[in-house]
Amino acid sequence: MITPKYVKEQIKVIRAHDPAMHSDWEVFLYPSFWAVYYYRKAHREYLKGHYFRARLISQKAARKTGIEIHPGAKIGENFFIDHGTGVIIGETTEIGDNVLLYQGVTLGGTGKEKGKRHPTIGDNVMISAGAKVLGSFKVGNNVKVGAGSVVLESIPDGCTVVGVPGRIIKRDNGEIPSEKIDQTDLPNPVQEDIDQLKRSNAELTNHLLTLEEEIRALKVQLKKNDEKQNG
């Protein structure tokens, strides 16, 4: 049964992240609302050992919402999936509070582990569209993962990660207020590498030009010395 408490919580969470929500009634139109609701219901059955019933609930929800959350996953409060199509959350995934996922995110395993196979996501984390977090490691608190990134190892608190494979390009984010979580406000490591190469190339070119000038000056001086000796 959908409780008023759950509805109020979802209204608050969705309004904090999505400016497209114009009225509270729209909460019932969000796939995330129903995906999280059915996940909570399925998770209770899973904890009771009713695994088939739990999976039945979760699979029905996946077909309706396009969001697949295994009932064994552990998810904290104020969890929101923006749009949500193609999101997959594995059985042993653990997610903290105030976490935001975008469409196409996978929190999965690599197919090699046994037991704890999926990632642990800290509090106040944003994982952008199409990102993949694969393996049984921890992503710390206040972490931002860029769109399309593939994260394969632990990420400390307060870091920004982008790329394939994911690499840390910023540290010490501090606590990120929900209204400032923006998946487009991320550095571009490829452009930064190109800019660094341009700077290095310019420095090298200037150094070579300086050496050429010094060599020309030395040749002129040597020629003058020879002329004096032979004169």
> What CATH number corresponds to the domain at position 69?
2.160.10.10
pLDDT of residue 100 exceeding 60, the answer is yes
Say if residue 167 is in the same domain as residue 228.
Answer: no
Say if residue 66 is in the same domain as residue 87.
Answer: yes
Q: pTM to 2 decimals?
A: 0.75
CA gap 154, 135 in Å, rounded: 9
Say if residue 174 is in the same domain as residue 214.
Answer: no
As given in the structure block, the two tokens for residue 67 are: 């969001």
Report the interhelical angle of 31-47 vs 51-65 (nearest 10°): 170
As given in the structure block, the two tokens for residue 207 are: 């150094």
101-154 tens-digit pLDDT:
999 999 999 877 778 999 999 999 999 999 999 999 999 999 999 999 999 999
CA gap 143, 183 in Å, rounded: 12
Say if residue 98 is in the same domain as residue 211.
Answer: no
What mean pLDDT comes out for the span 210-230?
Answer: 83
Say if residue 144 is in the same domain as residue 222.
Answer: no
In 125-172 the beta strands, taken as DSSP E runs, fall at 126-127, 132-134, 138-139, 144-145, 150-151, 160-162, 167-170
Which residue range is the domain that position 217 belongs to? 188-231
Say if residue 89 is in the same domain as residue 114.
Answer: yes
Give the count of domains, the chain. Answer: 2
pLDDT of residue 92 exceeding 70, the answer is yes
Say if residue 105 is in the same domain as residue 72.
Answer: yes
Say if residue 85 is in the same domain as residue 97.
Answer: yes
pLDDT of residue 183 exceeding 70, the answer is no
Say if residue 134 is in the same domain as residue 193.
Answer: no
pLDDT at 185: 58
Say if residue 157 is in the same domain as residue 170.
Answer: yes
